[in-house]
Structure 1
Amino acid sequence: MASKKGIDRRDEDEVCPVCKSSRYLNPNMRFLINPECYHKMCESCVDRIFSSGPSSCPVAGCRKTLRKNRFRAQTFEDIGVEREVDIRRRVMHILNRREEEFDGKRAYDDFLEQREEIIANLVSRTDVAKTEAQLQKYATENMQSIRTNQAIEEQEATSFQARISLEQEEARIRRQAAREEMENERREMQAGREDFLSRLAAGNPSDAASIARESHKVHLRKSSARRSEEDRLRQKQAALRGSELKRGTNLTSVENAGPSDTGLIKGLRKIKTPEPEKPYDPFMGYVPGKRDYVTLQQSYPSQYLDRLRKNTQAAAGGYDLQEYYSRTLTEAFAGLACFVEDEVAQRDAGLSKATAGEGAAMAAVSQ
């Protein structure tokens, strides 16, 4: 009895609920699902019903409005798992706060627990309307931070793929170098052995020791050459790693817009808005002792000023050399905020307008 029920259930999975077509009769039949209701139907029924526009789900009891572009092939065998994966992906796409946006580890853990509770409510169909309203409100109020975190996640994924490619390339270089080294060593040993035997055969027995020493020197030179080649390969790998790391740094250089206060998520760090820069005052408000480009000194070498400094009559009349120094330097450096080219262009434009006005007036008088 149980086996019969199992066979019936399997047959129902292989039959389209709309046209009642069976995969047994049509092995090429392809079933599609829509994330609105997750009802399975064949591809021909989808084309026939939804090609002209949105329509209600043809399954009895389901009144969801479906669109053709939302239909897709089923990934998991269990529809419940398919639905949970879609809900989790959608919620995590919206609630994508990062750990560095919170005041501490405890606040971030509370956020993760809250996100899992929202996913559990949607999966179990508990307070769906309230949960969806909260998600929609949060997505509307925090669109900028959501997009920024999505961009960071994409860049991290790209950087991770770059590191994987780098590691694969380094492994390939090491394997190739090891194969080449083994092959070169084998050829060198074979050539050295043949050379040693040929020299022994052509020489005297007393020359065996000298021939062995020369062969050993040749082997040492070749070993040194191999080490140099290994150093070259190591430098090549380091250069490759440096270029990939630099590329990854450029990829992750997106500035985070920072968290904002929201009623759904608690424990976020407060945004510190920088103060706007004040407009630059070329005369610096004539504040004594405040100069951006110069440092006011007590005295400056000058024969004329030395006479005034020693003149008691000028000092009695209230003449102050420090005030003279301040005023002179301020006037000298005040021109740094003036743009002569712009002033000349404005002056030329004014002269041309004046000339045109005079010409028009003279023409009117002549008429």
Structure 2
Amino acid sequence: MPPSRDAIVHRGDEDEVCPVCKSSRYLNPDMRFLINPECYHKMCESCVDRIFSSGPANCPVAGCHKTLRKNRFRKQTFEDINVEREVDIRRRVMTVLNRREEEFDSKLDWDNFLEQREEMIFNLVNGVDVGKTEADLQQYASENMRSIRTNQDLEAKEVSSFQERQNQEQELARIRRQAAREEKENERKEVMASREDLLSRLASGRPADAAAIAREGQKVLLKKSSARRSEEERIRLKQAALRGSDSKKPGQAAATAAEESGSGLIKGLKKIKSPEPEKPYDPFGGMVPNQRDYYTLRDHYPSPYLDPIRQDTRVLAGGYDLQEYYSRTLLEAFAGLGCFINEEVSKREASSLNAMKPVGTQGAAPAAGSSSQGSK
């Protein structure tokens, strides 16, 4: 009789002995060992129930004085306890230092952050500057709680979205398989019906019409198969277009602007840019009506030609306004005061001369000198 799955899994654990009650798996095959992330000492489930059911207690392993709680005990996942401990430390550190690449100014800053996070994981795993590393983690977590929660929510949404896409793809694949089976079955039925119709027509017709009936039946089959292929191609193109439109959709929006870390643990984060307050609506786009830079418009300008018009009702009856004439005339008179023609002409000539100069490389002058010496 082949060994069971549990027997294969625990074959290397037959000699495991509980450090508290000294029971071994060899004598008790149903015994389960549990570990606690505080110290990762392994002990049997019965000892855990007996020691920690009444409340927190010190670890019963000799030399370990850490306080353990029953709800923290769990089954060991990896065979090597060091791997189990490293996985837990990595998960805890990456939960706190969960910055995203789009939160950094450059790719170099993102790589430096990844290196810093791996260095902190290495220190905690190997016991190097554990106190300082833990203090930095706690300080960073307390100062950046908002960004940590925001990134956790984004990660959860990405995971759920990915799972939803996978479920949709599996459902579409199932529908396509079912449609293919139905199409194949319908095709088989159509072929059988065409053959039966052809045989019945041949049986009821004259012998001279056998060739014509056969050719007609073959044409019907070709038309049906061509229509079926055209429909399949149309459906395939439509699905490809839908997949293309889904791939072009914008991805999940990044987290809000990164919070500034007071401890300075992470460098290169983007600065928070507060939006500018909305300005009141300006229908003139910044231009102030009736405001000039070089002159001030008056109500009256003495003129022997315009003074009679001011009192002539025949001219003013049609809506003629002398103020409009004054404004237009002064604007045209002072329009060129802000333009400096000589400076513009000199800049234009300089730019044209630079454009006409040939572009040379660093090796052009030595090459020209060597060529001239060689010609001599």
TM-score, normalised with respect to structure 2: 0.66
**1:316-336 Cα deviation digits (max 9, x unpaired):** xxxxxxxxxxxxxxxxxxxxx
* CA-CA distance at 1:309 after TM superposition: 6.6
Flag the 1:272–1:311 CA change in 2: closer, same or farther, 3 A. closer
1:275 maps to what in 2? Answer: 276
* CA-CA distance at 1:208 after TM superposition: 2.2
Q: Distance in 2 between matches of 1:185 and 1:101?
A: 56
Question: Percent of counterpart pairs with the same letter?
Answer: 68
* CA-CA distance at 1:164 after TM superposition: 1.2
Flag the 1:74–1:311 CA change in 2: closer, same or farther, 3 A. closer
* CA-CA distance at 1:20 after TM superposition: 1.6
1:181 maps to what in 2? Answer: 183
* CA-CA distance at 1:24 after TM superposition: 2.4
Flag the 1:186–1:97 CA change in 2: closer, same or farther, 3 A. same
2:95 equivalent to 1:96: no
Greater fraction helix: 1
Q: Distance in 2 between matches of 1:253 and 1:108?
A: 19
2:258 maps to what in 1? Answer: 259
Name the count of aligned residue pairs: 287
Task: Assess if the C-alpha contact under 8 Å between 1:50 and 1:67 holds in 2.
Answer: yes
Give the secondary-structure state (helix, strand or coil) at the position aligned to 2:34.
Answer: strand
Q: Distance in 2 between matches of 1:265 and 1:26?
A: 51
**1:161-196 Cα deviation digits (max 9, x unpaired):** 112112212221222222222222222222222322
Task: Assess if the C-alpha contact under 8 Å between 1:163 and 1:244 holds in 2.
Answer: no
Task: Assess if the C-alpha contact under 8 Å between 1:56 and 1:66 holds in 2.
Answer: yes
2:111 equivalent to 1:109: yes
Gapped runs of 5+ residues in structure 2?
Answer: 1-11, 291-315, 324-376
Flag the 1:175–1:49 CA change in 2: closer, same or farther, 3 A. same
2:79 equivalent to 1:73: no
* CA-CA distance at 1:125 after TM superposition: 0.7
Mapping of residues 1-367 of structure 1, within 5 Å: 13=16, 15-223=17-225, 226-227=228-229, 230=232, 256-262=255-261, 263-277=264-278, 289=289
* CA-CA distance at 1:18 after TM superposition: 1.1
Amino acid at match of 2:270: R
Gapped runs of 5+ residues in structure 1?
Answer: 1-8, 291-305, 316-367
* CA-CA distance at 1:151 after TM superposition: 0.8
- What stretches of structure 1 move > 4 A for 4+ residues in a row? 9-12, 231-246, 252-255, 287-290, 306-312
* CA-CA distance at 1:261 after TM superposition: 2.6
Provide the aligned C-alpha RMSD in A: 3.5
Flag the 1:206–1:65 CA change in 2: closer, same or farther, 3 A. same
Amino acid at match of 2:189: R
Flag the 1:243–1:213 CA change in 2: closer, same or farther, 3 A. same
Task: Assess if the C-alpha contact under 8 Å between 2:104 and 2:110 holds in 1.
Answer: yes
Q: Distance in 2 between matches of 1:48 and 1:10?
A: 23
* CA-CA distance at 1:40 after TM superposition: 0.8
